[in-house]
Amino acid sequence: MEFKHKSVLLNETIENLNIKPNGIYVDGTLGGAGHSLEICKRLNEEGRLIGIDQDEDAIRAASDRLSQYRDRVTIVRDNYQNFQSVLDELNVCLVDGILLDLGVSSYQLDNADRGFTYRVDAPLDMRMDNRQKKTAKDIVNEYSEQELFHILKAYGEEKYAKSIAYHIVKYRSNKVIETTEELNDIIRGSIPAKARNGQGHPSKQTFQAIRIELNNELGVLTDSIDRMIERLAPGGRLCIITFHSLEDRIVKNAFRRNENPCICPPNFPVCTCGLQSKGKVITRKPIIPEEGEIHDNSRAKSSKLRVFEKRKE
């Protein structure tokens, strides 16, 4: 299966990266290299792109797509949370821009074998990195009812988390849950028929929650933003595209904290904590896709782009 993925908010992201022809840029979620290709087109022979992805298929597809720019591209198979060690190994101190396009690629969703989608029957997998041993099957079959309830509520914001967790545990007491369709059936049976009507696919939030838990998506994001801002050169920009409110909230709060890190009480006449602003938030409100893009690519509908600029010395 060919790795296909339509990059969302492509023009808006490239515009906000403020690409310098001789700059150094990091794409921490390389995917099919849609954003990276546009970055490479704007670099001269002194410019450099470092692409990072943990997905084996993405690495293969991106390497092929960026082959004409191989003299200015370095591709590394890793999780973007390890970007600092990647930069250190390449003897790169500061970079001019970093991009994260979070969430699941169209390829991962459309490739049934990966087990990300609730629309096709497949083994319960959902690993972003197939070198990882733990799968979605392990979570569904081994987590306690309370643990399942917690992740469905926290990461899926699932209204019927308690009922779904209960029915998962009840079902697996007789048989191991192995496929997406088995899980779909359990979820459908856990939600009142009235609530299922016209509300989209009933499994959407549960699958999202399990995927986030399995791949530690929110933990990795939370752990990375401050460190990425530290590695930006003066005037460099961090662009992050999110696809649900949990991710967006983490990005929004981290950007605000880096813009105004002062912890002094509001009634203090002068700052005494000594914490200085790291830069400024470029996007007071997130950039969202235009109607035309949503029409052409329905998966762009929930995307939001936020941008932070490092303080200029």
Q: Coil, strand or helix: which one is 158?
A: coil
Spatial neighbors of 36 by CB under 8 A, at least 6 apart, are 27, 30, 49, 51, 62, 66, 73
Q: Give the residue among 245, 304, 243 at the shortest CA–CA distance from 103.
A: 243
Beta-carbon count within 10 A of 278 CB: 19
Structure tokens at 302: 């929930």
- In angstroms, rounded to a whole number, what is the distance separating the alpha carbons of residues 180 and 116? 8
Q: Give the residue among 200, 199, 148 at the shortest CA–CA distance from 170.
A: 148
Q: Give the residue among 141, 35, 24 at the shortest CA–CA distance from 83.
A: 24
Beta-carbon count within 10 A of 265 CB: 8
CATH number belonging to the domain at 117-215, selected among 3.40.190.10, 2.60.40.10, 3.40.50.620, 1.10.150.170: 1.10.150.170
pLDDT of 258? 97
What is the DSSP pairing of strand 279-281 with strand 304-310?
A: antiparallel
Q: Per-residue pLDDT tens for 103-134?
A: 787 777 778 789 888 988 999 999 999 999 99
User: Are residues 44 and 22 in contact, defined by beta-carbon separation less than 8 angstroms?
Assistant: yes
- In angstroms, rounded to a whole number, what is the distance separating the alpha carbons of residues 154 and 77? 29
Chain mean pLDDT for the chain: 94
CA–CA distance from 120 to each of 146, 183, 203, 299 (Å)? 28, 11, 12, 17
pLDDT of 5? 60
Q: What is the pTM of this model?
A: 0.94
User: Are residues 251 and 222 in contact, defined by beta-carbon separation less than 8 angstroms?
Assistant: no
User: Are residues 199 and 186 in contact, defined by beta-carbon separation less than 8 angstroms?
Assistant: no
Query: Can you say whether residue 31 is alpha, beta or left, with left for phi > 0 and alpha for psi between -120 and 50 degrees?
Result: left
CA-CA-CA-CA torsion sign (213, 257, 8, 46): negative
- DSSP lists the bridge partners of residue 280 as 309
pLDDT average, residue stretch 146-154: 98
User: Are residues 139 and 214 in contact, defined by beta-carbon separation less than 8 angstroms?
Assistant: yes
How many CA within 13 A on the CB side of residue 63? Answer: 11
Under the banding of pLDDT at 50, 70 and 90, the label for residue 2 is low
- In angstroms, rounded to a whole number, what is the distance separating the alpha carbons of residues 80 and 86? 9
10-107+217-310: which CATH topology? Answer: Rossmann fold (3.40.50)
Q: Which of 9-13, 27-31, 103-107, 218-222 has the lowest mean pLDDT?
A: 103-107
pLDDT of 4? 55
Q: How many helices (H) and strands (E) does the chain have?
A: 14, 7
The percent of residues above 90 in pLDDT, for the chain, comes to: 84
Structure tokens at 175: 């048989």
pLDDT average, residue stretch 3-25: 90
CA 60 to chain centre: 19
pLDDT of 111? 81
- In angstroms, rounded to a whole number, what is the distance separating the alpha carbons of residues 163 and 18? 48
Q: What are the residue ranges spanned by the domains of the chain?
A: 10-107+217-310, 117-215
pLDDT at 198 over 90: no
pLDDT at 253 over 70: yes
Q: Per-residue pLDDT tens for 35-52?
A: 999 999 999 999 999 999
pLDDT of 180? 95
Q: Which of 160-164, 194-198, 212-216 has the lowest mean pLDDT?
A: 194-198
